Amino acid sequence: MGIGDYSIATLGSHSALQILHGAKQEGFKTIVVCAKGREEPYTMFPVADEIITVDSFKEFPEEELIKKNAIIIPHGSFIAYMGIEATKSMNAKYYGNKAILEWESDRNMEREWLKEKAGINMPLMFEKPEDIDRSVIVKFHGAQGGRGYFLARNTEDFNEKIKAHPGKEYAIQEYIIGVPIYIHYFYSPITKELEILSFDKRYESNVDSIGRISARDQIALDSVDPSYVVVGNVPIVIRESLLPKAIEMGKAVVEASKTIVGEQGLFGPFCLEGVLTPDQEFFIFEISARIVAGTNPFVDGSPYSYLKYDEPMSTGRRIARDIKQAIEQDRINEVIQ
């Protein structure tokens, strides 16, 4: 079968515009699945050949997508709305390794993969509030984009602030002072190459504007607690001497993934999310094993993808190219599940 026999499909949110635009650039037909009332971006921007509207994302039109021989590209909202179990049991063609999903969604397994197996530097975790011996950030499970996270100076401070969140499951992590950096990688099982496609930092409300209020006024306005709700993404180019470390980390994560989920390992786009300290040390607090929305500023490519491809190459397009090359080489089963 040739690429004309397939469509590329995804849910209408997150990075769908980029994914579908990239798929069209590579010559695929495209389908977007939209929740009712959220179709407009996909008619305003001509990236979808077909729009399937559903009442809610829970009613994922799997049968219809199977009939159309669609390949589904997962993104952050896709996993958030569908859930891991529904994603795993889906029969439609799926780009990526489903076995990796639980390794990234469980903080303990994620840590075993990144820290123990890949040797990645991560912030300390505190099992119990009594163990807190430095500034920490407290994160809630399944937090919708950083809502409710808080900082605590010590156990006392933690005990006071946690009162506002009764019954919630949380993780206590060392707070790293530095700048946030999100590294966008791509590993192709077809070319067997690791690529860095771009970097971003998130634009988070309200933490990214607290610095606009003087310390005096912050104290006067005692309602100013930082929150980390993501509202957008800002492109970054990093100091060139930091690239070797970024490349080394990406390779280590891919290699280690083979020891946890088998030879196929992690492939496609993934992102290491962390903070870079003034000592130029990366502390990674999370991995996303799929396309992240931080790649959206690069619909037309990034400085890094341009260095490699000399043509516009977004992460969405890179995914489509991987699928295209797999089809052309009769290796489609190596990239879909």
Interaction site with ligand AMP (CB under 6 A): 13-14, 76-77, 80, 123, 137, 139, 144-146, 173-176, 180, 202, 204, 228, 230, 232-233, 273, 275, 285-286, 293-294
Contact 143, 105 (CB under 8 A): no
3-state helix, strand, coil in the chain (%, to 5): 40, 25, 35
Prior bond of 206 cis (ω within 30°): yes
Contact 185, 271 (CB under 8 A): yes
DSSP strand pairing (268-276 vs 282-288):
antiparallel
CB atoms within 10 A of CB 311: 10
Q: Which is nearer to ligand AMP, 150 or 267 (CB)?
A: 150
- Nearest CA among 96, 158, 7 for reference residue 315: 96
Beta carbon of residue 142, minimum distance to ligand AMP (angstroms, whole number): 9
CA gap 237, 105 in Å, rounded: 28
Q: Which is nearer to ligand AMP, 104 or 204 (CB)?
A: 204
Beta carbon of residue 208, minimum distance to ligand AMP (angstroms, whole number): 9
Tokens at 88, concatenated: 């795993």
Beta carbon of residue 293, minimum distance to ligand AMP (angstroms, whole number): 3
Q: Which is nearer to ligand AMP, 26 or 204 (CB)?
A: 204
319 in helix, strand or coil?
A: helix
**What ranges in 26-144 are assigned the alpha helix state H?**
40-44, 62-67, 76-82, 84-89, 101-105, 107-111
Q: Which is nearer to ligand AMP, 48 or 327 (CB)?
A: 48
Beta carbon of residue 313, minimum distance to ligand AMP (angstroms, whole number): 20
Beta carbon of residue 156, minimum distance to ligand AMP (angstroms, whole number): 20
124 in helix, strand or coil?
A: coil
CA gap 49, 263 in Å, rounded: 36
Q: Which is nearer to ligand AMP, 294 or 301 (CB)?
A: 294
Distances (CA, A) of 194 to 22, 111, 185: 19, 22, 7
Q: Which is nearer to ligand AMP, 60 or 285 (CB)?
A: 285
Q: Which is nearer to ligand AMP, 144 or 280 (CB)?
A: 144
Q: Which is nearer to ligand AMP, 61 or 232 (CB)?
A: 232
Beta carbon of residue 169, minimum distance to ligand AMP (angstroms, whole number): 14
Beta carbon of residue 302, minimum distance to ligand AMP (angstroms, whole number): 16
Residues whose CB falls within 8 Å of the CB of residue 263, separated by 6 or more in sequence, listed in order: none
Residues whose CB falls within 8 Å of the CB of residue 34, separated by 6 or more in sequence, listed in order: 11, 12, 42, 51, 52, 53, 54
Beta carbon of residue 139, minimum distance to ligand AMP (angstroms, whole number): 6
Q: Which is nearer to ligand AMP, 7 or 233 (CB)?
A: 233
Give helix then strand counts, H and E, for the chain: 12, 14
Beta carbon of residue 173, minimum distance to ligand AMP (angstroms, whole number): 5
